[in-house]
Amino acid sequence: MKKKRIVIVNGPNLNLLGKREPEIYGSMTFEQYLEDLRRWFPQLDIAFFQSNAEGALVDKIQEAGFEAAGIILNAGAYTHTSLALHDAIKAVPAPVIEVHISNVHAREEFRRHSFLSAACRGIVVGFGFDSYRLALHYFAPLTTE
């Protein structure tokens, strides 16, 4: 059987995970965590894309949004600024889950508003890297249908 393809899309500064503000984001690189995710979800085909550029993220959502079963999106700071990403999420049929490593509601006021949440299927916030694992469970439910 063909595996469900899920694309994880990380936005700006998330290429620095492991080095960037480790007291907030931890000391593991995302590449290391991705290996764990692939081991935990062998039934999924998990692709990964990161860019610091807003337009590249829009392009990726447009592409993955028509070919993948779902997208997990951590848009970093563009979460709080980007109408273009909101529109891209709305434009594609694949469900998009918004994730954040940190609890954005427990941080600065400017992180409390997301331009993306209203366009997304759901949101997972504040569980460290495990926000991605919890989001993946939506696409690989533990119960049988």
Q: Which residues are catalytic?
A: 25, 100
CB 59 within 8 A of CB 88: no
Instruction: Compare residues 70 and 131 and give the one whose CB is closer to ligand DQA.
Output: 131
Q: Is 76 in the site for ligand DQA (CB under 6 A)?
A: yes
List the alpha helices (DSSP H) in the chain: 22-25, 30-40, 54-67, 83-91, 130-139
Measured in degrees and rounded to the nearest 5, phi and psi for residue 67 equal -120, -20
Residues 3-22 that bind ligand DQA (CB under 6 A): 13
Instruction: Compare residues 41 and 132 and give the one whose CB is closer to ligand DQA.
Output: 132
Closest by CA to 8, choosing from 54, 69, 66, 53, is 69
Q: Is 50 in the site for ligand DQA (CB under 6 A)?
A: no
Sole binder of ligand DQA in the list 111, 127, 130, 134 (CB under 6 A): 111
CB 71 within 8 A of CB 95: yes
Sole binder of ligand DQA in the list 71, 92, 97, 104 (CB under 6 A): 104
Q: Residue numbers of the site for ligand DQA (CB under 6 A)?
A: 13, 74, 76-77, 79, 100-102, 104, 111
